[in-house]
Structure 1
Amino acid sequence: MGHNLNPGTAMHWAASLFANEIYRKTHGRISIEVFPNQELGTDQEMVEMAIAGNLDIILTPTAKLSAYVPAMQFADLPFLFPSPEAAYEVLDGEPGQRLLKKLDEFGLKGIAFWSNGFKQFTANRPILRPDDFQGLNIRIMKSRIIADQFKSMGANPIPIDFHKTYQALGDGIVDGQENPLVAIAGMKFYEVQSHLTISNHAFLGYVLSFNQKRFQALPEPFRKTLVATAKQITPLQRMETEKKEKEYLDIIRQSGCKITVLTSAREKQFFMDLAFITDKYTDVIGDNIMDGAQKIIGKYRWVDHGNNDPVIGLTADFTMSSPASGRAIRNGLTFAVNQINKNGGVLEKKLRVRVMDDSGIPSRTRANIEKLSRIPSLVAVMSGKISATVLACLDLVHREHIPLLIPWSSATAIVENGYNPNYAFRVSLRDRDVGPFLVSHALEKSNKVALLLINNEWGKSNESAMTRALFDRGLRPETVQWINMGTISAIPQLTQIRQSGAGVILLAADPETSILAFKGMTGIDLSLPIVSHHGIIGGRFWQTAGPLLSKIPLTFIQSFSDTARLNTRQKEILNNYRTLRAMNLADTIMAPSGFAHAHDLAQLLALAIKAAGSLNRPDIRNAME
């Protein structure tokens, strides 16, 4: 038997107990030798050995089996389990048995889930709310679910080998990490991290499994003994883990590392902000597993599903190029809904929000809206930042008669779409209006204007608006340069701009592409002023390109700012939001225009529902118009 933990852990204690019990019960006819601490190889190597028949028994983290059984990512879903008891009942019950059964086709016989404890956050600053991860580099094990979790909170997840994590933390390559207490104490991460947050945000389960052929070759009485003994030891192993965790906490506390336990209110905030990840990966894990798990979890965490209450869907980018925009829109929407419900809701019902991640990909936006359209009580869908995703679903929302609330996307054709009746409602900028505004500011700097545009529908919308505004002034662009999403350099386009003799650049691009432009300009020593659309907002632009702004003058448009002169009502709304999110009243709000527009759209929707006196979507559309 092989596993990756050291001999002082509950996992090794239970593995040794299992070996001793099997030897005793079979009167020495089965002898199991336990190899801890990756003595036989890495987790991946041991899995491959077990599948090939070169290792009889393995204890493996669920995440390490996900390359073979993607559903094994199940335990990594953030804040899924409200307690150890909930996790144990799910994994010992039908959902867990379905997961173990999936190992059969890869030559493994899954027997039981053992516990290495719940994962906790560490960092060099307090982590009390999702926003505290903003801008941090976080070490993770390689996992899409875990990467999406941290991206959606504004962090930069970096996969690093577990045994290199201490060095990476000490060298400042990463600012924090997640692991159970056994790893935090065992690897002495507390020496290079000042804060530990007891978040219990994901269960680190280990699968006890056998090589299938080796197992089936044993006489049936021995097979029954192996399975029965493993299941008898399972609760003992979990109890030993919980006992050890108290010892680990004492060690960490004595080191001077500050320990904070999330309150139930803060845990709920994390749970609500990250709930979309469970939705996103349900298809990977399987509806039958997720449905069974949620029924069990419901006994431990009361959730008011409000099956007959009106639902607002949100599909936005939380994990790719503009995650800050998705968070800002979600925060504005959910805050408004919270206030609406506090004031009695709509038509004696509470509004609900269903959040889904589309990663800024049009096909995923369509798929999300198709799923949302199957909710009988759906009253509207709110979109994210990227115009291309909104344009791609206009036919769908009109076919299904779904009011589409647009808090950011500015492509002119989104609202001027030719549909009658029109279900698209925007509270944001419109490219046809932004073009002349940006051109006027650009001409204050030079009458030789170059356009640098993202090569998609939004970029084309801006080309039309900006070019027309220049033509109206008797001018034309010196050059129009297009950048494809995902490209690795903007230097070819910037070289063309330099050769054109332009004196100012009009920019319309997403944050990642804008970063390329600024880095490229620095690389070729091009310091033309930039006048930008609001596309630079909502991603990693400021934290990545911010230091370059001393060399490249930047002017950009933003439709709302929480640092501008505000009226009394605006101040009240923003301060109430800051209080709800446990922020300081002086804290700035991330991507404030997305927050404000989403908030206002939700309030307008509520007013429309009340005016219509109905939850019928065409009636709501008519009232909104």
Structure 2
Amino acid sequence: MRLSRGYLFLTKLSVFALSAVLIIGLVSCGGKTKSAATGGNGEKIVLRLAEAQPDNYPDTIAEKAFAQMVKERTNGRIEIQVYAGGQLGDEKTTIEQAQVGAIDIGRANSGPMTQVEKKFGIFSFPFLFKDRDHLWRVLDGEVGNQLLKSLEAHNMVGLAFYDTGARNFYTTKPVRTLADLKGMKIRVMQNDILVKAFNLLGASATPLSAAEVYSALQTGVIDGGENNFSTYVSDGHYEVAKYYTLSGHLRIPQVLFMSKASWDKLSPEDQQIIKQAAKDSEKVQIQEYDKFEKMSEDKVKAKGNQIIALPDQELQAFRDKEQPLYDEYKAEFGDFFTKIAAAAK
């Protein structure tokens, strides 16, 4: 299931223009149905949810399930309309619109969330989680609740987390050991922590925008990148980087959130219904993501690419190399490091 490259190359200008037109149209719509900003007294409430991914993506499927749950649990009184495919803007735009109340609900990766709340930078540290179960123990526990709660200071309410799988290395020549990574130019997100992290592994961290990666792999400007199975396939990088090493170095969850302006207009009972339905939608998203990732993995195997598993001893060598990074950021993230490590036991 490959997303079209045309979709991925939408210009920021066109997204912003389309977003503005749709928001104006939605806000100006008349009729008896009211938004959260004006709903009350038993009148029907309509909430707008912005999603950058297309209709058939796991996140969108989960959000539609969330909307259905809310509808059923309020006997149709609250309707959540899901606008998928970036109709209301990209993730960064969605965050900004939620902060000012232009949209009611949105979803964004933890990466862009760091622009409004630095605590989400905790997910930039490689090998922070032993596995997926460890991640979800953290997200369902004190740390996850603290992160969601932190958004209230930025005019948003955190509702739930969604999964994005594990990020692994993909390269134009095989990486079977830490030594193999030495000197390789690896594309990283434009994030200071990640640049330091990959340099500590002996690679030459190369920040590039996502749009530049395919051609950079083709021309040898970089030797590889890192991402989950589904993005490795949907961005077409599996066509030009034939080796996929299961390092599992990053697990970066997504956040489902609501505009605090919209939230504050709801009754406590409705707030609880929405929060519980959002939490329940996590299970749907995880199931859909697993199916989506399995299809991507099957495509990689059908293409003849090599999927390389690392033995535990080699993975530990990768983890050990990152200790100086944890030492450097201990003052800022040390409390999180301690709580997350405790959740692994």
TM-score, length of structure 1 as denominator length: 0.46
Report what 2:45 is aligned to. none
> Which string of whole-angstrom CA distances, capped at 9 and with x for unpartnered residues, describes residues 540-591 of structure 1?
xxxxxxxxxxxxxxxxxxxxxxxxxxxxxxxxxxxxxxxxxxxxxxxxxxxx
Equivalent AA in structure 2 for residue 264 of structure 1: D
Report what 1:131 is aligned to. 179
Equivalent AA in structure 1 for residue 101 of structure 2: G
Alpha-carbon offset, residue 230 of structure 1: 1.0
1:280 is matched with which residue: 328, 333, 338?
328
Report what 1:63 is aligned to. 111
d(CA) in 2 for partners of 1:15, 1:197: 31
1:156 is matched with which residue: 191, 204, 224?
204
Tell me if 1:12 matches 2:60: yes
Report what 2:123 is aligned to. 75
Tell me if 1:91 matches 2:91: no
Alpha-carbon offset, residue 233 of structure 1: 1.8
Query: Relative to 1, partners in 2 of residues 1:3 and 1:135: Cα closer, same or farther, differing over 3 Å?
Result: farther
1:247-258 maps to which residues of 2 (within 5 A)? 247-258=295-306
d(CA) in 1 for partners of 2:170, 2:86: 25
Report what 2:29 is aligned to. none
Alpha-carbon offset, residue 130 of structure 1: 2.7
Alpha-carbon offset, residue 69 of structure 1: 1.5
Q: Secondary structure, in 3 states, of the residue corresponding to 2:341?
A: helix
d(CA) in 1 for partners of 2:57, 2:214: 19
Q: Secondary structure, in 3 states, of the residue corresponding to 1:120?
A: strand
Report what 2:244 is aligned to. 196
Equivalent AA in structure 2 for residue 208 of structure 1: L
Query: Relative to 1, partners in 2 of residues 1:55 and 1:130: Cα closer, same or farther, differing over 3 Å?
Result: farther
Contact 1:138 1:156 in 2 (8 A): yes
Query: Relative to 1, partners in 2 of residues 1:206 and 1:168: Cα closer, same or farther, differing over 3 Å?
Result: same
> Which string of whole-angstrom CA distances, capped at 9 and with x for unpartnered residues, describes residues 360-411 of structure 1?
xxxxxxxxxxxxxxxxxxxxxxxxxxxxxxxxxxxxxxxxxxxxxxxxxxxx
Alpha-carbon offset, residue 284 of structure 1: 2.6
2:150 is matched with which residue: 102, 106, 111?
102
d(CA) in 1 for partners of 2:53, 2:312: 31
Equivalent AA in structure 2 for residue 146 of structure 1: L
> Which string of whole-angstrom CA distances, capped at 9 and with x for unpartnered residues, describes residues 185-213 of structure 1?
22221101110111111102001111111
d(CA) in 2 for partners of 1:170, 1:5: 26
How many correspondences in the alignment? 297
Contact 2:166 2:228 in 1 (8 A): yes
Contact 1:109 1:210 in 2 (8 A): yes
Alpha-carbon offset, residue 176 of structure 1: 0.9
1:54 is matched with which residue: 79, 84, 102?
102
Equivalent AA in structure 2 for residue 194 of structure 1: K
Alpha-carbon offset, residue 162 of structure 1: 2.2
Q: Secondary structure, in 3 states, of the residue corresponding to 2:79?
A: coil
Tell me if 1:292 matches 2:339: yes
d(CA) in 2 for partners of 1:35, 1:130: 43
Q: Secondary structure, in 3 states, of the residue corresponding to 1:105?
A: helix
Contact 1:95 1:290 in 2 (8 A): no
Equivalent AA in structure 2 for residue 236 of structure 1: V
d(CA) in 1 for partners of 2:221, 2:85: 25
Q: Secondary structure, in 3 states, of the residue corresponding to 1:199?
A: strand
Report what 1:35 is aligned to. 83
Alpha-carbon offset, residue 30 of structure 1: 2.1
Equivalent AA in structure 1 for residue 262 of structure 2: R
Report what 2:20 is aligned to. none
Alpha-carbon offset, residue 78 of structure 1: 0.6
Alpha-carbon offset, residue 288 of structure 1: 3.0
Report what 1:205 is aligned to. 253
d(CA) in 2 for partners of 1:136, 1:156: 6
Unaligned runs of 5+ in 1: 300-625
Query: Max radius of gyration: which structure?
Result: 1
Alpha-carbon offset, residue 106 of structure 1: 0.7
Report what 2:309 is aligned to. 261
d(CA) in 1 for partners of 2:247, 2:315: 7
Percent same amino acid at aligned positions? 26
Report what 1:140 is aligned to. 188
Q: Which moved more, 1:84-93 or 1:163-172?
A: 163-172
Contact 1:90 1:296 in 2 (8 A): yes
1:318-357 maps to which residues of 2 (within 5 A)? none
Q: Secondary structure, in 3 states, of the residue corresponding to 1:288?
A: helix
C-alpha RMSD of the superposition: 1.7
Query: Relative to 1, partners in 2 of residues 1:220 and 1:72: Cα closer, same or farther, differing over 3 Å?
Result: same
**Structure 1 outlier segments of 4+, above 4 Å:** none
d(CA) in 2 for partners of 1:4, 1:33: 14
d(CA) in 2 for partners of 1:90, 1:42: 27
Alpha-carbon offset, residue 269 of structure 1: 1.2
Alpha-carbon offset, residue 10 of structure 1: 1.8
Alpha-carbon offset, residue 240 of structure 1: 2.6
Query: Relative to 1, partners in 2 of residues 1:37 and 1:278: Cα closer, same or farther, differing over 3 Å?
Result: farther
Alpha-carbon offset, residue 289 of structure 1: 2.4
Query: Relative to 1, partners in 2 of residues 1:4 and 1:141: Cα closer, same or farther, differing over 3 Å?
Result: farther
Report what 2:273 is aligned to. 225
Q: Which moved more, 1:15-24 or 1:209-218?
A: 15-24
Report what 1:374 is aligned to. none
Contact 2:165 2:228 in 1 (8 A): yes
Report what 2:25 is aligned to. none
d(CA) in 2 for partners of 1:245, 1:234: 16
TM-score, length of structure 2 as denominator length: 0.81
Report what 1:319 is aligned to. none
> Which string of whole-angstrom CA distances, capped at 9 and with x for unpartnered residues, describes residues 470-520 of structure 1?
xxxxxxxxxxxxxxxxxxxxxxxxxxxxxxxxxxxxxxxxxxxxxxxxxxx
Alpha-carbon offset, residue 27 of structure 1: 2.5
Equivalent AA in structure 1 for residue 200 of structure 2: S
Alpha-carbon offset, residue 135 of structure 1: 2.1
Q: Secondary structure, in 3 states, of the residue corresponding to 2:127?
A: coil
d(CA) in 1 for partners of 2:327, 2:70: 42
Taking CA–CA contacts closer than 8 Å with sequence separation of 6 or more, which of the two structures ends up with the larger relative contact order? Answer: 2
Query: Relative to 1, partners in 2 of residues 1:12 and 1:167: Cα closer, same or farther, differing over 3 Å?
Result: farther
Contact 1:44 1:64 in 2 (8 A): yes
Alpha-carbon offset, residue 139 of structure 1: 1.6
1:240 is matched with which residue: 285, 288, 296?
288
Alpha-carbon offset, residue 39 of structure 1: 3.2
Equivalent AA in structure 2 for residue 135 of structure 1: G
Equivalent AA in structure 2 for residue 293 of structure 1: I
> Which string of whole-angstrom CA distances, capped at 9 and with x for unpartnered residues, describes residues 246-300 of structure 1?
2211111111211111221211111111133223223333x33222211112x1x
Equivalent AA in structure 1 for residue 190 of structure 2: K
Equivalent AA in structure 1 for residue 252 of structure 2: L
Contact 1:92 1:112 in 2 (8 A): no
